Structures are given as structure tokens and as C-alpha cells.
Amino acid sequence: MTAPAPRPAPAAETAPTATTAPAETGGAPDGAGPEAGPPVLAVDLVTAPSLLEGLAELARGLESAGAGALTLSDGGLHPIHLAAHLAPLTEQIALLPRTDALYVEPFHLATQLMSLDHLSDGRAGWLLQAETDPAVPAAVGREVLGLEASAREAADVLGAVRAVWDSWAPDAVVRDTERGVYVDASRLQYADVEAETFAVRGPAITPRSPQGLLPVLVADTDRAAAGERVAGELADARALDVDVSVGARPERIAAQIAAAGPVGLVRLVGLDLEADPLGTVAQLVGALRGRGLIAEAPSHGSTLRTRLGLPAAPFQPDPARRADRARLSREEAA
Amino acid sequence: MTTAQLSSPTTGPAKHPLHPAHTPTGQLAFGVFFQGVNSSTIWRLPESGDQVAFESFETLARTAERGRFAAFFLGEGLRLREHRGVPFELDVAGRPDAQTLLAALAGVTEHIGLVATQNTTYNDPVDLARRLQTLDLLSGGRAGWNVVTTDNAWTGENFRRGGYLDHADRYVHAEAFVQVAEQYWRGAPIAHDGAHYSVRAQGELPRSAQGRPVLFQAGASPAGQDFAARTADVIFSPHGTLEAASEFRRAIVERTVAAGRDPGSVKILPGAEIILAATEAEAEEKVRWVRDLQIGPEQAIALLEQYWGRDLSAFDPDGPLPDVPPEVSESGVTRGAGFQFAKAEELTRSWREEAAAKGLSILEFARAKSGARRGEFTGSYDAVADRLAEFARMGAIDGLNITPWLVPSGIDDIVDHLVPRLQERGVYPAEYAGSTLRENLGLPPV
């Protein structure tokens, strides 16, 4: 990737200025910061109704077999809800719905994903997809977007979603019984996003989630439709797709990982659920972990950001977007 | 309170003849309504739990299952409520997305129905139908949808479509929306061209164990009642007295029959708050204590400021209502549906007169007017059980949708003390009737 201009290092070192546009916050070019270790191994499950039978058992089995994450790709059942369903039924494994950014309401999408982060105690991520199936826009009464437009829209939606995620300070719920104040409006901010095709006002209806900003990744499969700006600049990391439907030989996968450059997630696609999925994954995990090619099993309670080597996402207050600005101006007028 | 009159043995069918087409089942079903915002839930008590943590929802849902509750409901708001242009700070605010949360609850519960309040104005019908069907399949046929409408542009500022709907249009739109969702659930091809948008889609998921999610609807206006009678399986009503509930039953049965449906195919579950104690005297004391904690001096002033549209912080909460005119002609839309569209000048004048006539202070008046004022189902365990048995015998209601005043322990005493008494009286199930929400509400199959 060619960075157009030197950018400040993400989040931890440099607090963005108050005028930072929402779309610019949160991303880390190509995801791999200096602290990034080996990628997290993810198993992709397609949300076909047939998956429901034995789903919890499968997820727990994959967790025990050493998979670091599950991605839920759309096969009919809603991927975010399937991820949410698995959150209390699992303990360690990260949960990343692979779901569309374009033909949805950004406010709903942001709320659903941050709710998933609450439910999973910070194990949630978003595998951003830019839908190319014309049936999806038809279902919401919109025209299918061309590649250029879909890339622009994906970037706008990602910016809006992050602005909504970042609209509550972590300590906004104060529960001050003395003053009778439950939430402190000065610790909330509007999203105030004005994109080309939509606007979102905010703040979120949900308090800040454990990670604040969920890690956003783009799978190789979705790179073209999501566009280079989203996949290369705005996303936190890349998900390397490894097709295991053609066989799951560790040597081949190791070579793919070694050739891929910096990735956050190695995503096994096409795992045969009829055969011995847990055995296959356990064998791969053993072989790849032995070579230091994938991350160690996560320690209990670590967030997905931590596992991906991403710095913590501090609340970025913007005075111009303060939710209690109406009160401030009243005080000035008085 | 009208409790004495309600528990009177002379209150009976003769005084409240219900519709001849309707045969009461004599049975009650309970739902627990986790509203997640506003002043109904007391957050100031040390035993008040986290309003967002999954543990709070799980504890409440598991307790409800122990009490054979038919359903667990979540409320929804799509914009943080504001007060004079600033997010409202005094009440509980901030909650997870309803359906995302229910998908998680589906995995840790076995019997209870999972009902999400979801708006027809700011959702896309196929997207919402698919999410609801996902929940229905994840839960083995326990999903429900509380259909609500909104028409205010203020909420619309969070959405692509904005506040595009006229007030008069909202039920027209809602009905078309539900029709599209039903086509999706049937797996039928959808070709809908409405006033507001077009939809081309086809349902692709298998039928759930209950056919489709159970439809709840809350409209109390004539248009809302008509919509409910045509489309809903269950109606939330705001009617807590036996007389009002009976009137409402008659109205709904009439409309249901007129819509060509079996009168037993629409159940009525009024929203309720239940405050119980061992004796009547203790219960009365407890009601006062709950009200004091729900509405403090700050909330009382803020409530009036909603209607006066101006800073009233200089007024003494223990003194009379403000003798200054309001600064707005219509009250704000931001506190929630119950507060909308009142003409502020008329209302504030009538409130001043009412409070003066009754000798009420600002604080006392606010407590009497606030959202959590329903007191019909408060009293001793036995008295409330008797009263509810009478409601069931009359067929005035099919159950209650209970908002706990404390989370997550707010229904413990209902489950431990009221439910067994209702079971003894034969008006409440000892076991779940079936595995689906539809079965547990006694609804006919679809």
C-alpha cells in the first residue's frame, strides 16, 4: 500500500484534534501496527438454517480446538444475531459477523454491533462487506451501486458507524444518587455525520461498548467491492481468506500466511462441517501455532482489539459535538 | 385508588357484560417488560443492577421463566430522549439493541417468549422480517414483535429516510409494512410498491415452530385499535381498571369480529406495575416509597419544564405549580410518545387548577402524573391475587405485561408470592402449555 502522506500513528500516541472528521478516526493503515503479533485464526461459518442444529456445540468445540475467532457469513440467518446468540454460549472466541455496510441503516448497524460487543465482553468485531448481490438493494427499494459508488458509500457508513460508537464516554453513566443524575450529558456527543446519501445525528442509544471502537476488518473476498480506501486505509486490519474446501494441509496454509504480508485474521473458509471440523481445526491450529504463524490462544477476558495488537480506543471528545451544547449556550446567554 | 371498588364481590358479569361473541378463557399470562429507560425503574437503590450488562437481562428472564411467564419484552427508542435540547440526565438512559439482545437470551432460556419492540417507520420491512425470523428460528418459535410506529422528524434524524411520514399516514404505512413482513415469513415473492418505497424480495428461511413471530401492538387510538384488530395477535392496552379493561375488551372484540377474525384470536395484555407486600398497610407504605424513589424533586421540575418549555429550577418542588405562562405552545416530542402533542397553554392552565384544587405541591403532582403511576395492581399478595382472578373470570384481560420497578430483582416477589396464589385460584398456568410463544399465549395456530 502507498500511504498518500505521513499519518500520525493511531490512537494511543496521538489524540486526534477536535476537527478530525468522523471518517478519519479509528483506522490503522493495513492494520498491522508495530505491536501486531501473528494473526488470529478464524473459522468462517455460513449462516444457513441448516447450521442451527448443533450450532452452540460446534462453536464451543471450535473454541476448544483453538480457533481464536468465528466469522459469520450471510447465508440467510442474520449474521449479527447469530453472533449475539453465540456470545453467552462461548467464553473466549471472538465473534465477527461479515455483514453489509451499504443497504442498511447505519444507525441500526452501529447499535447492533456495539450491542454485540456488550454481550461478548469485548470479543466483537465487524468484517465489513459491501454487498454486490442486486437482490439486497431491491429488498430495501434501492438501486444497486456501482463499484465506485459502493466504495464511497462503504467509507461513509464506516465513518458514521464509528462516530456513533464513539458518542458516549466510558464514564457517561454516573449514577450520582446525591444529585439525582443518571447520565452526564456533557460526556455524550452527537455523531453529526452528513454523508453524501445519508445523515446520522446520534448520540447512540447504547452506552459505550467495552472496546469503544470495534475492530473493523475486510476479508480478501470483499476487498474489491469495499474499495481500497476502506480496505487499505480505514479498516483496522485485513482478513486473509484461506479456502479449506480444497483440503487443509498446514504447509499450504503456512505458505499462504507467509506470503500475505501483515494480516489481522486468517480466515478458514469452506470448512466441511459434515466431516471432522473440530479435528481439522485442532490439527491446523497445532501445526500453525507450532510455527508461530498464528496467535496463541487468547487469555481470558482479553478484547479482540488486544488480540489483534490494536491500541485501546480512547474516547475522543469533540467540543463542537458536545451533547449538552444547548445548555452551554443557554448559560452563555444568561 | 379504586382498589376497594375493584375487589368488591358485587363487581361481576352483570355489571360488566362483555361481548356475546367472546368466551373468556379464565386464564392469565404474564409478560415482563424491560423498558430500559425512563423513571419506572429505580436506579438509585444499591440493589439496582447494571441496565446494560447481559447478567441483568438474563437474571430477569430466568426469574420470569421460573414464574412461567409467557414473554420477556424489550422496549425500544431510536433516539436518546432530550430535555430542553440536552439528553435527559435524570432517568435511566442507554440500552442495547432489542433483537441483538434477545438473540443472546434465546440461548440461555428455554421456554419464555422473546419480544422485541421494533419501529415500522425507521426499519426496512424485509430486513426486519428476516431478523425476526432469525430470532424465531434461534429460539425454537419463541419470537414476538411489538409493532410500533413513530412519525417524528426528530427521531428520523438518525435514519436515511428521515422523518418522512405524516402522522395520518403512520398506520397505513405500518399495515403495509406488516403485510410485507408476513409475505416474507410465508416465503412468498414480494412485489410491493407503496407510497414511500418499493420492495422486491422473497422469503428464503424455513418456517419456525410457531409459523411466524407473534405480533403485538399497542395503539389505543381508534386507528390503532382498528389496525390491531386486523393484524395483531396481542394488544397492549393502558387500561388498568376492571371497568376500563372491560370497555376495551368490548371495543376490540367488536373490531376483531368486524375484521372477520375469531374474537379469541386477539389477546389483551395491559401494561402494569405490580407492588406487593404481605399486608395492605405494608403495600401502601411500599407504594409511597417506590413513588418517592421514582420521581424525586429533580424529575418533578423537569417534568413540568417539558410542558412549560422554560427553566423552572427556581421553583420549590414542595410549593404550588408555577404561576408563569409556558414559553411554547406545543410541548416537545422528546420525552416519549405519552408526552407528545399536548397544547401547552391549555394543559399548564388546567394542571395549575387541578393541583390547586387538590392542594398538591409540584412534587406530589408530578408523582401523580408521571408515567409509572398505575396503582391498580398494588396491595397484599392475597388481595392482588383476588383482584386478578376477578379480571380473569370476567375475561376483561388475558394477562399483564409487567414493568418491574427494580432491575433485576423486581419480579422476585411476584414469582414467589403472587404466582403461587394465582395458580391456587386456577387462573395461572402451573406449567408451560407448549414450546412456542403462540402456544403459551393460547393463540390459535397460523
SS3 per-residue string spanning chain B: CCHHHHHCCCCCCCCCCCCCCCCCCCCCEEEEEECCCECCCCCCCCCCCCCCCHHHHHHHHHHHHHCCCCEEEECCCCCCCEECCEECCCCECCCCCHHHHHHHHHHHCCCCEEEEEEECCCCCHHHHHHHHHHHHHHCCCCEEEEEECCCCHHHHCCCCCCCCCCHHHHHHHHHHHHHHHHHHHHCCEEEEECCCCEEEEECCCCCECCECCEEEECCCCHHHHHHHHHHCCEEEECCCCHHHHHHHHHHHHHHHHHCCCCHHHCEEEEEECEEEECCHHHHHHHHHHHHHHHCCHHHHHHHHHHHHCCCCCCCCCCCCCCCCCCCCCECCCCCCHHHCCCEHHHHHHHHHHHHHHHCCCHHHHHHHHCCCCCCCEEEEHHHHHHHHHHHHHHCCCCEEEECCCCCCCCCHHHHHHHHHHHHHCCCCCCCCCCCCHHHHCCCCCC
Q: Which residue in B158, B293, B294, B310 has the most chain A C-beta atoms within 10 A of its own C-beta, making it the best mutation to test that interface?
A: B158
Determine contact: B107 vs chain A, CB below 8 A. yes
User: Rounded distance, CA B235 to CA B246, Å?
Assistant: 14
Residue B373's pLDDT is 53
The C-alpha of B73 sits at a distance from chain A's nearest C-alpha, in angstroms, of: 17
Please report, for chain A, the start and end positions of each structural domain, with discontinuous segments joined by +.
Answer: 40-324
Mean pLDDT of B319-337: 72
Determine contact: B43 vs chain A, CB below 8 A. yes
In chain A, what residues touch B296 (CB-CB under 8 Å)?
Answer: 180
Cβ-Cβ pairs closer than 8 A, A with B, add up to 175
Q: Which residue has the higher pLDDT, A202 or A9?
A: A202
Q: Is the pLDDT of residue A312 over 60?
A: yes
Cβ distance A49 to B137 less than 8 Å, yes or no, reads yes
pTM for the predicted model, two decimal places: 0.92
Cβ distance B94 to A115 less than 8 Å, yes or no, reads no
Cβ distance B43 to A182 less than 8 Å, yes or no, reads yes
For cell 494480516, the residue is A263
Contact A74, A51 (CB under 8 A): no
The nearest alpha carbon in chain A to B206 belongs to: A49
Q: Which residue has the higher pLDDT, A23 or A122?
A: A122
The C-alpha of A334 sits at a distance from chain B's nearest C-alpha, in angstroms, of: 12
Q: Is the pLDDT of residue A256 over 70?
A: yes
The C-alpha of A124 sits at a distance from chain B's nearest C-alpha, in angstroms, of: 13
Q: Is the pLDDT of residue B13 over 70?
A: no
To the nearest whole number, what is the mean pLDDT of chain B?
89
- Spatial neighbors of B168 by CB under 8 A, at least 6 apart, are none
Least confident of A73-82, B241-250, B339-348: B339-348
pLDDT range class, residue A20, cuts 50, 70, 90: very low
Cβ distance A107 to B159 less than 8 Å, yes or no, reads yes
Q: Is the pLDDT of residue B184 over 60?
A: yes
In chain B, what residues touch A188 (CB-CB under 8 Å)?
Answer: 80, 87
Determine contact: B79 vs chain A, CB below 8 A. yes
The residues that bridge with B400 in the sheet, in sequence order, are: B30
Least confident of A36-50, A78-92, A287-301: A287-301
Classified as helix, coil or strand, A320 is helix
Cβ distance B298 to A179 less than 8 Å, yes or no, reads yes
The nearest alpha carbon in chain B to A50 belongs to: B206
Query: What is the radius of gyration, based on Cα positions, of chain A?
Result: 20
Q: Which residue has the higher pLDDT, B107 or B152?
A: B107
Contact A207, A173 (CB under 8 A): yes
Please state, for a pLDDT cut of 90, what percent of chain A lies above it. 83
Residue A332's pLDDT is 79
Mean pLDDT of B342-360: 89
Cβ distance A323 to B87 less than 8 Å, yes or no, reads yes
In chain B, what residues touch A324 (CB-CB under 8 Å)?
Answer: 86-87
Residue A333's pLDDT is 78
B274-277 and B377-380: which strand pairing? parallel
Q: Which residue in B34, B76, B82, B86 has the most chain A C-beta atoms within 10 A of its own C-beta, making it the best mutation to test that interface?
A: B86
Residue A34's pLDDT is 45
Q: Is the pLDDT of residue A135 over 80?
A: yes
Please state, for a pLDDT cut of 90, what percent of chain B lies above it. 70
The C-alpha of A291 sits at a distance from chain B's nearest C-alpha, in angstroms, of: 36
**Nearest in space to B301 (alpha carbons), one of B219, B366, B243, B345:** B366
Which residue type is seen at A241? D
Residue A113's pLDDT is 98
CA angle A120–A209–A263, rounded 5-degree value: 70
Q: Summarize pLDDT for A182-205 with one digit per residue, the tens.
A: 999 999 999 999 999 999 999 999
Domain A40-324: CATH architecture, name and number where available: Alpha-Beta Barrel (3.20)
Q: Summarize pLDDT for A146-189 with one digit per residue, the tens.
A: 999 999 999 999 999 999 999 999 999 999 999 999 999 999 99
In chain B, what residues touch A53 (CB-CB under 8 Å)?
Answer: none
The nearest alpha carbon in chain B to A136 belongs to: B201
**Nearest in space to B171 (alpha carbons), one of B228, B256, B251:** B228
Residue B166's pLDDT is 77
Q: Is the pLDDT of residue A215 over 60?
A: yes
Cβ distance A180 to B297 less than 8 Å, yes or no, reads yes
Return residues 259-318 of B near A (CB < 8 Å): 296-299, 311
Q: Is the pLDDT of residue B310 over 80?
A: yes
In chain A, what residues touch B200 (CB-CB under 8 Å)?
Answer: 135, 138-139
The nearest alpha carbon in chain B to A200 belongs to: B158
Cβ distance A112 to B100 less than 8 Å, yes or no, reads yes
Mean pLDDT of B15-22: 71
User: Rounded distance, CA A47 to CA A51, Å?
Assistant: 6
In chain B, what residues touch A119 (CB-CB under 8 Å)?
Answer: 54, 96, 100-101, 104
Q: Which residue has the higher pLDDT, A287 or B194?
A: A287
User: Rounded distance, CA A286 to CA A293, Å?
Assistant: 10
User: Rounded distance, CA B119 to CA B112, Å?
Assistant: 22
pLDDT range class, residue B15, cuts 50, 70, 90: very low
Residue A94's pLDDT is 98
Least confident of A312-316, B6-10, B50-54, B333-337: B6-10
Q: Is the pLDDT of residue A22 over 60?
A: no
- Spatial neighbors of A109 by CB under 8 A, at least 6 apart, are A99, A101, A157, A161
Q: Is the pLDDT of residue A247 over 70?
A: yes
Q: Which residue in A47, A142, A181, A183 has the most chain B C-beta atoms within 10 A of its own C-beta, making it the best mutation to test that interface?
A: A183
Mean pLDDT of A220-244: 97
Residue A241's pLDDT is 97
Least confident of B60-69, B95-104, B345-354: B345-354
To the nearest whole number, what is the mean pLDDT of chain A?
90
pLDDT range class, residue B419, cuts 50, 70, 90: very high
Alpha helices (H) in A175-320, listed in sequence order: 223-228, 250-260, 277-290, 304-307
Residue A5's pLDDT is 38
Residue B330's pLDDT is 58
Q: Which of B78, B104, B159 sits opposite A84 (nearest CB)?
A: B104
The nearest alpha carbon in chain B to A112 belongs to: B97
Element (H, E) at A268: strand A265-269
Please state, for a pLDDT cut of 70, what percent of chain B lies above it. 92
The nearest alpha carbon in chain A to B299 belongs to: A180
**Nearest in space to B268 (alpha carbons), one of B441, B34, B35:** B441
* Cell numbers given for B290: 417506590
In chain A, what residues touch B124 (CB-CB under 8 Å)?
Answer: 105, 139-141
The C-alpha of A77 sits at a distance from chain B's nearest C-alpha, in angstroms, of: 5
Cβ distance A119 to B104 less than 8 Å, yes or no, reads yes
Q: Is the pLDDT of residue A229 over 50?
A: yes
Mean pLDDT of B310-334: 83
The C-alpha of B387 sits at a distance from chain A's nearest C-alpha, in angstroms, of: 35
